[in-house]
Chain A
Amino acid sequence: MCDHCGCDGPGQEVTYHRPGQDKHHHEGHEHSHDHSHNHDHNHDHGHGSADSASRTLDIEQDILLKNRLLAERNRGWLMAKDILALNLVSSPGSGKTTLLERTIVDLKSELPFFVIEGDQQTLNDAARIDATGAPVIQINTGSGCHLDAEMIQRACRELSPATGSILMIENVGNLVCPALFDLGESAKVVVISVTEGDDKPLKYSHMFAASDLCLINKVDLLPYVDFDLEKCEQAARAVNPQLKILRISAKTGEGLNHWYDWLREHPDRKA
């Protein structure tokens, strides 16, 4: 069974694809639970017998321990290579891919970028990033609603991001589930656009609480929408007083210099 969605059919598995390469990698249901084998159940079926003594075993184990340990391995690997890894999270349609395209094109002469794209289906985003010239790998999660540390480990092996580079991980568009799954990133960057509600930080507080930087995108559309910037920023700071907030438009370029400075000055990249 897939540990993301409970599915067991084909077409729902996690796949990895690099533009320009024919091979698809079906990672699928290798998430290392051992259902369907090695459950030694060939004993007698005397479960309910009166002499069967039931025992309680204390476990006290973090449910997400496996993901956390893998994430820390990723973090150590990335640190050793002086790679700044950013986990970009948002609802679908906030402009993450457009922001990445623009950022890569504007900064590629000074900063090396590598990109991991996460979507349930299609290679569309990887094709867009590929057109900028940055090396990219697409993870299709099938029915899965978030990337996890194991997927990033696998994707990093295939992508081989260079020492001193910036690894952009575009998570599945979803403001709920990715908040819980550490990938080993240096920082989470939450993107919200002014075509969404300005109360989103309150509605999806887990994501805003877990993030380090908030980019409010599409500010060029402010004259046409009922979005109160101050109110949104106030809500975001109420949820997370440490959150840094930048107003940008990935389309017109407004405010992007502040985002670029943030990337240039981040201490995790020491090239």
Chain B
Amino acid sequence: MHEMSIAANILEIAEQQAAQAQARIINRIEVEVGLLAGVEISALEFCFETARMMSDLTSSSALVIHPVAGRGRCPDCRLDFPVEFFVVLCPVCGQTNVKILQGRELKVRSINVD
């Protein structure tokens, strides 16, 4: 379950930043998770609930997940379109070699601290 690694990485980044800002507590951590990133959002939420208890700084932190929908671009007709799965065809010309533009994000956007 790699979502535990992801949760631990989120907390590590948040704690580092909070320590630099001399914060006492992290109220909220906002992250972006691309829907093509290979991370199961419910599993990540589950893991975060356990992992946040390891530190006083994060034990009451809320995790806010912003899902990022997948988008791709056809190399031939330059069309941008939504992508929900890796098997992607350009809806106009049927080209299979579609470039994924977004949806693979795994990012800590911000933290809210006291």
Residues of A near any B CB (own CB < 8 A): 1, 3-6, 31-36, 39, 41, 43, 47, 52-67, 145-146, 148, 176-177, 179-181, 202, 205-206, 208-209, 237-242
Contact = CB atoms under 8 A, between A and B. Distances in A.
B9 A3 contact: yes
Residue among B5, B8, B24, B56 with most chain A CB within 10 A: B5
B111 A35 contact: no
B4 A6 contact: yes
A205 B85 contact: yes
A58 B110 contact: yes
A57 B27 CA distance: 11
A59 B86 CA distance: 29
5 contacts: A1-B54, A3-B4, A4-B4, A63-B9, A179-B38
Contacts of B18: 57
A52 B114 contact: yes
Interface residues of B, number: 46
B63 to A, nearest CB: 12
Interface string B7-38: 11111111101100101110100010000011
A6 B47 contact: yes
Given A1-B8, A39-B56, A41-B57, A62 B106 contact: yes
Contacts, number: 128
Contact of A54 (B8, B51, B109, B112): B112
Contact of A60 (B8, B11, B37, B107): B107
Given A5-B1, A34-B15, A56-B111, A47 B24 contact: yes
Contacts of B106: 62-64
Contact of A33 (B12, B86, B87, B97): B12
Given A47-B114, A181-B5, A237-B96, 18 more contacts: A1-B8, A3-B4, A3-B8, A4-B4, A6-B47, A6-B51, A33-B15, A39-B57, A41-B56, A47-B25, A55-B112, A56-B110, A61-B13, A61-B108, A64-B9, A176-B38, A205-B85, A241-B97
